[in-house]
Amino acid sequence: MSDPQFFEARDGVRLAWRELGEGRPLLLLHGLFSSAEVNWIKFGTAARVAADGYRVIMPDLRVHGSSDAPHEEEFYPPDVLVRDLEDLVAHLGLADFDLGGFSLGARTSVRAVVAGMTPRRLILGGMGLAGLAGWQRRGQFFQRAIAEYETAKRGDDTWLSIQFMKTMKVDRIAAAHLLDSFTDTPPEALAALTIPVLIVCGEQDQDNGSATDLVAALVDARLATIPGTHMSSVTQPELGEAIAAFLTA
């Protein structure tokens, strides 16, 4: 496991990232309540991509992993994760790179491109059209998971998410603020995504809506279906294989 490195975002919050491999830069953003280590390193995805000559750069998003989780609301303006990504790109001096993410990481990657970031290629894991355009519904679910953190029972719809939050030792105060910073990406805004896009999604994953609908909404997108649900697909070797195949095609 690579040790985290740290930098300061524009608002002074200390954020972490990890790296694996050498070559062309690929930024990979993890999912909600996860971390670079769990999402990309633990199950070999980063190593698989790095083996093809990539410098895989994996930030821990604000409130996640080794990054700070301030409790004050002022540290969570709209799209703060996009600003953090812009700050990391500037800190590393990256000009020509590829970008991707899983779930929240995919959402953040799309928001960054809509805001003007210019990766050469884009990878969106565990994402469908509704997950971009209809964030409010997903956001309300996770706010409810935070509210039911101590009271949910096995079988409740929030149970699995809460168990994951407990495993990852998520700071609930900071997480609630972060959820409020997320914004929707309406389908018409997706016209800004003219670069090649890979949508990679578990065959049983409908958590963020239809991946097929998202492919149809984009100018230059292809779909790779891999085994698993939203939670289990990140553990599959097929995730790294699909990303590597897209990048080396």
pLDDT at 191: 86
Among the listed residues 66, 58, 68, the one whose alpha carbon sits nearest the alpha carbon of residue 27? 58
The DSSP output letter for 74 is G
Sheet strand arrangement including 98-102: 5-8, 14-20, 54-60, 24-29, 98-102, 122-125, 197-202, 221-226
Structure tokens at 157: 């719809």
pLDDT at 1: 52
Q: What are residue 124's DSSP bridge partners?
A: 101, 199
The CATH class of the 5-248 domain is: alpha beta
**Strand boundaries in 83-207, DSSP class E:** 98-102, 122-125, 197-202
180 CB neighbour count, 10 Å cutoff = 14
Mean pLDDT by 10 residues, the chain (249 residues): 90 98 98 97 98 98 98 98 98 98 97 96 96 86 96 96 96 97 91 94 95 95 97 97 97
pLDDT at 127: 96
The DSSP output letter for 14 is E
Are β-strands 98-102 and 221-226 bridged in parallel, bridged antiparallel, or unpaired? Answer: unpaired
Domain boundaries, given as residue ranges, for the chain: 5-248
